[in-house]
Amino acid sequence: MKRATVRQLIGLTGLCGLAAVAAVLFSVDTVISELEGLASRPLLFCLALGIVYLVRPFLLWPVSSLALALGFLYGAAIAFPLALAGAALSALPPYLIGRYAQTDIGLFGAIGHSGEAFVATVGEFRGVVAARFSPVPGDPISYGAGLTGVSLQPFLSGTVVGEVPWALVTVFTGASMRSLSLSEFAVSPELVVALAGLTVILLAGPLYNYYRGERRTGAPTVSQD
Domain locations in the chain as residue ranges: 3-217
At 23 the pLDDT is: 67
Q: What average pLDDT does the segment 9-30 reach?
A: 76
Share of the chain above pLDDT 90, in %: 39
Higher pLDDT, 26 or 128: 128
Distance between CA atoms of 127 and 116, rounded to whole angstroms? 11
Average pLDDT, the chain: 85
Predicted pLDDT of residue 214: 67
Residues 210 and 120 sit within 8 Å (Cβ to Cβ): no
Across 16-35, average pLDDT: 77
Q: So what's the pLDDT on residue 32?
A: 83
Res. 145: pLDDT tops 80: yes
Greater model confidence, 188 or 155: 155
> 7 pLDDT exceeds 60?
yes
pLDDT of 224 reads 54
pLDDT in tens, 96-129: 999 998 888 877 888 888 888 888 889 999 999 9
